[in-house]
Amino acid sequence: MTSFWLGLSAAFKWSFGFYRLFGNVLNWVLFIVATGFFCYWCYILVVTLGAQKDKDYVSPTEGKNPYYDPKIYKNEG
């Protein structure tokens, strides 16, 4: 019976080592994916929005305030 418990202990020790290795590999994979997203985000910020291009943006609703439009919120009284 003792050999059964020793074998079970060895199996648990092996499984925890496997989970530790799998967690380490998963951690590196997620780190590489996050680094890729960060580099893509930096690329978008620098290349797409760089050189002050965002100053040319014109808001389609600038000067139009529908929340305060008296036609929408007329006084019913």
pLDDT string in tens for the chain (77-residue length): 888 888 888 888 888 888 888 889 999 999 999 999 999 998 888 887 766 655 666 777 777 766 666 676 666 65
Long-range Cβ contact pairs of 49-52 (< 8 A, separation 24 or more): none
From residue 69, how far is each of 31, 72, 74 by CA, in Å? 50, 6, 8
Neighbours of 13 (CB within 10 A): 10
Contacts of 72 (CB under 8 A, 6+ apart): 66
pLDDT of 28 reads 95
pLDDT of 36 reads 96
